[in-house]
Structure formats: C-alpha cells, structure tokens
Structure 1
C-alpha cells in the first residue's frame, strides 16, 4: 500500500482543513478513507439527509408525509470534500449546493449566497473511464461538471476549488515523485532518479498530466525555481528528476480506431477539466503502445535494462 497513490492521496497535505467539519461525497468506506487522509471531523450525506430530511425530495418515495420540526443542534459544516462519484447524484448535488449556498447551515437558508463560498477540495477529474462496457462510463469529472454548471447557473459565479487533485494536477505528479524517491531511499539506491514514465489510457488526464509535469520540470530547471506544493503546502527536497515521459496504452478510454478530424475539420471536443485549458501539444503522447506490458518493455529498452 505504501507504493500506491490514489487520486485523493495528496489531500494528506491539506492539513489546514483536517480539523474542520467537512461534508464528504463519494462511495465506499468514506469516513474511513477521509480519516486516513487526515480529516477527523467528517459528515456523510446520509447524516446530513437524516438531520434535514426536507432537503432530499427528488425521489418521491423519500418525501416525508409530515414536516418535521427544524433542527438547530446540527453544527455548521465548514467545507466540502469530494472523493469520487457518488451513487445518488441528485441527492449529492442538491445537498452540496445547499451547504454552499447556506454557508454550511442548510437548515436555515440565507437571503444571499456567500461568495467566496466554503472551501471545496476535489479529487479525480476524469470525465470518462473504461469498464466492461464497450463505451466509456461517466467518471467523477462528469459529476464535478454537473456541480460546477448548476452552481454557476444558480449564482452567476464560478465554483472554485482550494484543492483539485488527481491527474492532470501537477501536485499529483510532485507527490508521486516524492513517494518514488522515498521508495528508492528505503532500498538503499543511491543513483539519482532523473526520468519518470507515466503510463495511462486517457489523453486528457494521463498524457496531458504527464506532459504538463514535464513542461513544469523544464521551466523549473531553466528558472531555478524551487518546487513547492500549491499554496506552499509542503516543500519538496531538491529534485533530481529532469523529465517525465508519457506512454499511451490502447486498452482503455483511448482507442486507435477513434476517428481523427479531417484536414481543416473541427477539432474533437476537449474532455479535460474546466480549470485545465485545451492545449493540443499536451495531449500528444511520447509513445503509443498496445498495452501495459508493451509499455514496461519499452521502458526497459529506453533505460538499457
């Protein structure tokens, strides 16, 4: 497990929010996952829904037959933690918006929505991902797109994140570099790590992120700037990594059979997150291979192993 990074792993660095009362969205053992990341005061959607049952009424079978007395003993929520796509999207979208528009007290409501809104931390921006179906499925990036669009439609303002993690965020690659360095030190390896290889099946997250990190490394080398996490979250030790190579595999979201735009035709739609602008050069993989095994063999050849 200490060799694995998930999209939300860099949230361990956001210690200034670890003691705040955070509403958490996603699925699986959410409370356990949040606590492993350092968040010690989390509220689940079910807990919020049970405290304020009149908020969740899209599903007619969930609507109450009688109106309960309003509660005033539920502590205010101080932030929102988005760990992955939830199961009941309508409930999560509604309650998250309620929390943001009420400044953490959805049982009371406010005359005017506060802005800037409560801090929002999110991980995993993939719009689509590949499962057993023949076509890609919605990812957490699709849920974020819904939330951002609804918030802008209701308030006229943009939803902002104090932390946005997962590929293609540079913070994710910095975090991975630091973990790889720790693994090398634990094994007594003294040769500096100078090149990282990033293998993935998604142009707008895996390839874009690896190339963005490579671009960042080049800028850091030329300017001599020290590498910092966002907002100075944590300071990396001096980096020896000089490049990051992107390798695209054809066993997932990307398929070599995808139609290419005709000469002079329209560009394909950009599936990346709103906060990462379209940059065609960043979506050109250094190498394209059939599968992960070919990617590993390619790395062996490149490194002369």
Structure 2
C-alpha cells in the first residue's frame, strides 16, 4: 500500500477552463484500480472559492470518469471551518456563485452579500451611471453593523465590491454616516484565494482573486494612507491550507484501508507563486514540526500573515487537530511543477513578483520546484518510480 499521498491542483493541471487536459485522463487510469477505487490517497487542492466542495467533486467526477468524493476536495475556503470565533459575527461576504450557501456550510450564521449591502445603501454604488440611485433606502438605520469581511473569490462587478468593502472598513461596519476618524486597525478581513492569475481556455493567463486583492490593498492604502491588514489569508500558498489538506490525506488513507500514516506528500501544480511556493513553505514547516513541536513550527511559518493565522486565529479544536496530525503525519511535502498551465518557461521573468503582498519577501529557493515535468501523467510516473509503486 502507498506510503505517500497526492495534493493535486486542478486549473492548469487537470483542466484548462472546462477542457480536460488529455494527459490527466491517462494519469487517473494509473491512480485507480479496475473497480475505480483510488490506490493512492489523493486530495484536490484548488484556490477556487466560488463553488461548494460537493459541486466541485461532481464536476471532477464528470471530467475524469472517476468517482471523486466531497472529502477529497479542498477549496480555498475550506479551512474557514476552523475560524469558529467569526461564525457568530455578522460578516460581509464577497465573491460570486452560491456564496451564501458556502458561508453557511462553513459555519457562518449571519452573512450579507455585497448586493444586499448595496440594496440597503444604494447611494454608495455610484460608478455605473445606469445603476446609480439618487434616493437613500429607508431601511439604512436598521442594517446591523458588519463585524468582519470574508472574501471568497473574485466578484463580478469589481468597482462595486471595491467601493463598498472600503466603505465598510472606513466606517467600522456601518456605512450610513462618515466616521469622524478612520478606524484603525479596521474590521477583520478573511481572504481566500491569492492567485494573481490562473489558466483557462485562453492562450494567456486570466486575472484571479489575487488581482482583486491587489486592487483592494492599493485603493485602501491610497485613500487612508494605511496598510490594509488581513486577519487571515486562506488558500495556497498559506501553510494552514496545506495543514488542512494533509489532514484530509490522512483521513482519505484510512478510508482506503491504509492503516499506516502517510509520510510523504507530493504537491503537483502549475503556478510557482502558489502551488510550488506553498508546497515548499509547508515542507519547511514540516521540517520544523518534526524537529521541535507545533508551537515552534508556527514561529517558522513563511510570513507574518501565516504566523498570525496559524497561531492566533485558529480555534482550540483546530489547533488540537493540527497537533494530532503533527504527531503521526507527513514528514515532507515535495513540489512538482507541470508545464500545462500558468507557468511558461519562455515568458518567466524573475524580476516580476507575483507573490501575495503578505508573503514577501520570498526566501531564495522557495519558488524552485523539486521536480519539473511536462504534465500530470509524467508527474505520476515520476512519483511512482521514486516510491517504487506500481
């Protein structure tokens, strides 16, 4: 039985947009047996955040012709289950798709969307002249104060979301009147999916939620003169996402009848700024976790944001789970870069820094993959050969 597990990116590795990469189908023929059962604990770790885990599992099953369960999917927002201290707060949520259902599924009980906020404060949305309102809503005074902001993924109308999120931050959650002074630190912000770009059917990468975050950070800085502060950054390359994915690998191994711990993780991705950097960050975390203990491993996390997220914002139950995984979990996370997505060797320029702001500066070597291969089939062949698995 396998002593290793796989963490697979989706966009640029398995599909481009809705088109399945042909090598992926051949790769999955090797990952499952004649009955369609996985031979290797396999978890799909995507930075997508605008769909439910079950919906993504169903989509993967249709694409690959293999039964994928909800438990095998880690969305960028999946670790938000750990942030129980925000679940009872009134949260403003941003993104597209069924984000209210997603939020409720993660444990958030009181949420308002950008569209809901706009309907309560119609004068705030003034960029689109066709939608601009001239009369306030009579219900403004009854709108409950926003206590936190949760950013699931890129919205459709960026100008509206950017304006209203900053309005909420500058009024301490109640944008019916200008504050006498800009509150700082501002309300908590939990942001998922830091991908600046992602690969769809087009010949060039498309803007991702990371591009929206760049706009939000810089607009807030320009307007207030202060840096926007994330309470937590979730999704690759954050260590907490890989910690959550590792626990999913161990659970999947048990479902497959594998009773020994999975000791090595192989993370296959197409983006050096998220997939490769994140896997290498987590590998360093595992080194420290193995040598010392959980609390010291937190201090070795790759960024101020990661340390804050891992240490102060995780619930007690989440920290207990992390410590349990550390006691019998993986000892290494090995990064594998494929060339079917965002990464383009001919266009790659080391002077262009696409890493999320709060993960800078990047230490030398952390964006270098352990292995480079053409596609996911070559990656699976390489891993099987290294592991002596057939």
Which TM class, normalised by the smaller chain length? over 0.9
2: distance between equivalents of 1:225 and 1:100? 34
CA positional deviation for 1:240: 2.9
Residue number among 278, 281, 290 corresponding to 2:374 in the alignment = 290
The answer as to whether partners of 1:120 and 1:161 remain within 8 angstroms in 2 is: yes
Describe the SS at the equivalent of 1:94: helix
Partner residue in 2 for 1:122: 191
2: distance between equivalents of 1:167 and 1:288? 19
The answer as to whether partners of 1:203 and 1:248 remain within 8 angstroms in 2 is: yes
CA positional deviation for 1:191: 2.0
1: distance between equivalents of 2:133 and 2:243? 48
Residue number among 273, 281, 288 corresponding to 1:212 in the alignment = 281
CA positional deviation for 1:185: 2.1
2: distance between equivalents of 1:152 and 1:257? 34
After superposition, give the CA deviation of every residue in 1:146-202 in whole Å (9 maximum; x if it has no partner).
111111111111111111110110000000111111112233312221100000000
Correspondence 1:242 to 2:331: yes
Partner residue in 2 for 1:22: 91
The answer as to whether partners of 2:89 and 2:110 remain within 8 angstroms in 1 is: yes
Number of residue pairs aligned between Structure 1 and Structure 2: 299
Partner residue in 1 for 2:67: none
After superposition, give the CA deviation of every residue in 1:56-83 in whole Å (9 maximum; x if it has no partner).
0100011124455572111111110100
2: distance between equivalents of 1:259 and 1:271? 11
Residue number among 19, 26, 45 corresponding to 2:114 in the alignment = 45
Q: TM-score, normalized by length of structure 2? A: 0.74
Residue number among 365, 375, 386 corresponding to 1:281 in the alignment = 365
1: distance between equivalents of 2:185 and 2:84? 20
Higher helix share: 2
CA positional deviation for 1:116: 1.0
Q: Which runs of 5+ in 2 are unaligned?
A: 1-69, 299-309
Partner residue in 2 for 1:54: 123
Residue number among 167, 172, 180 corresponding to 1:111 in the alignment = 180
CA positional deviation for 1:247: 0.3
2: distance between equivalents of 1:135 and 1:65? 41
2: distance between equivalents of 1:207 and 1:239? 24
After superposition, give the CA deviation of every residue in 1:85-134 in whole Å (9 maximum; x if it has no partner).
00000000000001000001011221111111111100100111111111
Describe the SS at the equivalent of 2:154: coil
Residue number among 328, 347, 362 corresponding to 1:258 in the alignment = 347
Q: TM-score, normalized by length of structure 1? A: 0.94
Root mean square deviation, CA, Å: 1.5
2: distance between equivalents of 1:154 and 1:111? 15
1: distance between equivalents of 2:258 and 2:137? 64
The answer as to whether partners of 1:82 and 1:121 remain within 8 angstroms in 2 is: yes
CA positional deviation for 1:251: 0.5
Alignment of 1:1-305 (within 5 A): 1-66=70-135, 69=138, 71-225=140-294, 229-231=310-312, 232-233=314-315, 234=318, 235=320, 236=322, 237=324, 238-259=327-348, 267-277=350-360, 278-305=362-389
The answer as to whether partners of 1:198 and 1:245 remain within 8 angstroms in 2 is: yes
Describe the SS at the equivalent of 1:23: strand
Q: Which runs of 5+ in 1 are unaligned?
A: 261-266
After superposition, give the CA deviation of every residue in 1:245-285 in whole Å (9 maximum; x if it has no partner).
0000001000232256xxxxxx4211010011222310100
